[in-house]
Amino acid sequence: MTPADGPASPPPGAPRVRITGVGHAVPSRILTNAELERTVETTDEWITERSGIRERRIAGPAESSSTLGTAAARAALASADVAAGDIDLIVVGTSTPDGVFPATASRIQDALGARRAGAFDVNAACAGFLAALSTGMQFVAGGGARRVLVIGAETMSRIVDWTDRNTCVLFGDGAGAVVLERGTASEPGALESFVMRSDGSLASLLYCGGPEAPAIAGSPGGPYIVMDGRNVFRQAVTAMSQAAAEAVALAGLRVADIALCVPHQANARIIDAVARNLGLPGERVFTNLDRFGNTSSASIPIALSEATAQGRLRPGDHLLMLAFGGGLAWGAMVVEWAGVRTGPGSVDAPVARAAEPLEVR
């Protein structure tokens, strides 16, 4: 089977799927490396050198994955100029849902007043947004939905052991969202390829809860994230490099054709190593983890929203997205950029502003 025949490139003549809106929302509370120096044995220098992270956002008591996700969704709907009532389906990538059930997607559906929409969550840890996005895109391409809202929303601060310096310096909270709509051959915007992979035999490298979860001394509550950072690092570089190369080939492209890569924002050194392996110059790789840390499923849509606002993508550009996380689960996707509205006037008032101020773009 040649790459073009692969199961993850849309068949010829399949309806085109366009990303027509993007938005994100983060809590206003900033937690700096300097503050962490006062709570665990670490230094700003160690965190910055080893991860590239300088600060992260932390949800307040009135915020949750659904409130952040709702605010991000409102911004994305405004950017697409689509009413909540016209959305057919809401798919939320999250590993920190508000509760076991109802789905965080259903809470967001209610908050938005998206009365016609179905709603469900998907969990692929830090690869959750690409899992949600590939699902939403299949619905549009297959004719099951005309307009889909895909959201990555996380409150990682709630599953971090704040006494564990191996993990607590890495994670942050936030949400990002995109609107998907059916397109035509005469306008830019299409899903070009995607690759989703998992190796559950390596679950013990990165997990939260479950039968293997140890009781963590001195930390009431939980479950908390447990991570073998060094091995996750190695796996992430290899897996994302391979998935990216595969997705680019499936799309019938070369790495030189990729205008912008928006990778999962876990660690600047992982991103640099993947870019080196692919031969992607640094100026074509978007990072914002210095300000947000690892927001898991939210990291790609937050970065995409910022990249769009900064004018880093033009209609017709080929965008490469990469993700890796617990599972292990990872993936890559190539999308032809449709072009979206951004900037002042395209953003609704955030829903949770009264209790906990949000920043929405």
> Which residues form the catalytic set?
126, 264, 294
Nearer to ligand ACO, 44 or 86 (CB): 44
Nearer to ligand ACO, 125 or 255 (CB): 125
Q: Where are the alpha helices (DSSP H) in the chain?
A: 33-37, 44-51, 65-80, 104-112, 128-142, 165-168, 229-250, 268-278, 289-292, 299-309
Instruction: Answer yes or no whether residue 53 interacts with ligand ACO by CB under 6 A.
Output: no
Strands (E), the chain: 16-27, 30-32, 55-57, 89-93, 118-122, 147-155, 173-183, 190-198, 206-208, 225-227, 258-263, 318-325, 329-336, 358-360
Residue from 50, 54, 197, 284 touching ligand ACO (CB under 6 A): that is: 50
| C-alpha dihedral (141, 329, 21, 186), degrees to nearest 10 | -40
Binding mask of the shown chain, residues 326 to 345, with x at each position contacting ligand ACO by CB under 6 A: x-------------------
- Residue 225 token pair: 């994230």
Residue from 9, 51, 193, 342 touching ligand ACO (CB under 6 A): that is: 51
Nearer to ligand ACO, 91 or 159 (CB): 159
Minimum gap (Å) between residue 264 Cβ and ligand ACO: 7
Radius of gyration of the chain (CA): 19
Instruction: Answer yes or no whether residue 48 interacts with ligand ACO by CB under 6 A.
Output: no
**Three-class DSSP category at 114:** coil
Nearer to ligand ACO, 31 or 87 (CB): 31
Q: Which stretch binds ligand ACO (CB under 6 A): 25-33, 40-48, 172-180, 246-254?
A: 40-48
The answer for residues whose C-beta is within 8 angstroms of residue 136's C-beta and 6 or more apart is 89, 91, 145, 148, 149, 150, 180
Minimum gap (Å) between residue 155 Cβ and ligand ACO: 12
The answer for residues whose C-beta is within 8 angstroms of residue 220's C-beta and 6 or more apart is none
- Residue 323 token pair: 């993700």
318 in Cβ contact with 193 (< 8 Å): no
Residue from 69, 325, 331, 350 touching ligand ACO (CB under 6 A): that is: 325
**Three-class DSSP category at 198:** strand
Q: Comparing C-alpha atoms, which of 87, 91, 136, 139 is closest to residue 113? A: 87
Instruction: Answer yes or no whether residue 180 interacts with ligand ACO by CB under 6 A.
Output: no
Nearer to ligand ACO, 17 or 226 (CB): 226
Residues contacting ligand ACO: total by CB under 6 A:
23
Instruction: Answer yes or no whether residue 241 interacts with ligand ACO by CB under 6 A.
Output: no
Minimum gap (Å) between residue 210 Cβ and ligand ACO: 14
Residues that bind ligand ACO (CB under 6 A): 42, 46-47, 50-51, 125-126, 165-166, 169, 206, 229-230, 232-233, 236, 266-267, 270, 294, 296, 325-326
